[in-house]
Amino acid sequence: QKEVEQNSGPLSVPEGAIASLNCTYSDRGSQSFFWYRQYSGKSPELIMSIYSNGDKEDGRFTAQLNKASQYVSLLIRDSQPSDSATYLCAVCPPRGNNRLAFGKGNQVVVIP
């Protein structure tokens, strides 16, 4: 089983809608969770960190963590064309040896 899985294919959402991305992780003891945004040809940019169960909001972004079910989600409200990017989920496993485990990413396309 992969450490971090992002299984959805490309997500197309109309401008102004909510984009919802999901990520599951295999190591139940993981404590730190991150979402990165990566524009085509650019490097990943940290947009959200979450450490406790529940929701964390930052502007139009909301991260949701459920440790019992081992998933972390990212909601993008009022999606804008500038949100079109690949979103990477990253998890720090307890035996991660000082390193993050990354998912392969989900592409989001916001249609004007």
Partner 1 sequence: DVKVTQSSRYLVKRTGEKVFLECVQDMDHENMFWYRQDPGLGLRLIYFSYDVKMKEKGDIPEGYSVSREKKERFSLILESASTNQTSMYLCASRPGGSYEQYFGPGTRLTVT
User: Which residue ranges make up the site for partner 1 (CB under 8 A)?
Assistant: 32, 34, 36, 42-46, 49, 88, 90, 92, 97-100, 102-105
Beta carbon of residue 14, minimum distance to partner 1 (angstroms, whole number): 27
Minimum CB separation of residue 15 from partner 1 in Å reads 27
CA nearest neighbour of 21 among 33, 3, 32, 29:
33
Cβ-based nearer residue to partner 1, 50 or 110: 50
Name the amino acid, one letter, at 6: Q
Query: What's the min distance (Å) between Cβ of 88 and partner 1?
Result: 7
Q: What angle do CA 106, 98, 4 make, to 5 degrees?
A: 25
Min dist CB 70 to partner 1, Å, is 17
Nearer to partner 1, 30 or 79 (CB): 30
- Of the candidates 70, 72, 69, the one whose C-alpha atom is nearest the C-alpha of residue 50 is 72
Nearer CB in complex with partner 1: 17/100: 100
Which residue's CB is nearer to partner 1, number 72 or number 79? 72
Sign of torsion over alpha carbons 57, 53, 35, 76: negative
As a whole number of angstroms, the distance between CA 79 and CA 20 comes to: 10
